[in-house]
Amino acid sequence: MAKRLGELIQQFAERIPAGTAVPRRAEPEQCPICGGAGWLRMDAHVGDPNFGRLIMCTCLMQEVDERKQMEMREKSNSDGYANLTFENFNAGSSPSVREAYTAAVGFAEQPNQNWLLLSGSVGTGKTHLAAAVLNASLARGVDAIIWTVPDLLDYLREAFNPTSVITYDQRFEDIRRIPLLILDDLGTESATPWAKEKLYQLFNHRYNAQLPTVVTTNQDLETIDFRIRSRLQDRSLVRHVKMSAPDFRPRKRAEPPV
Parse the chain into domains and list their residue ranges.
Answer: 2-56, 65-251
pTM: 0.71
**Strand boundaries in 81-208, DSSP class E:** 115-120, 144-148, 180-184
Number of Cβ within 10 Å of residue 246's Cβ equals: 12
- Confirm if 135 and 85 have CB atoms less than 8 A apart: yes
Per-residue model confidence as pLDDT tens for the chain (258 residues): 444 444 544 444 444 444 444 444 444 477 877 767 777 666 666 666 766 677 777 776 777 666 655 665 565 567 789 899 999 999 888 999 999 999 999 999 998 889 999 999 998 999 999 999 999 998 888 889 999 999 999 999 988 887 776 788 888 998 999 999 999 999 999 989 999 999 999 999 999 999 999 999 999 999 999 999 999 999 999 999 999 876 665 544 444 445
CATH of 65-251, one of 2.60.120.560, 3.40.50.300, 2.130.10.10, 3.60.110.10: 3.40.50.300
> Taking the CA atoms of the chain, what radius of gyration do you get in angstroms?
23
SS3 content of the chain, % helix, strand, coil (to 5): 45, 15, 40
Q: What is the pLDDT of residue 20?
A: 42
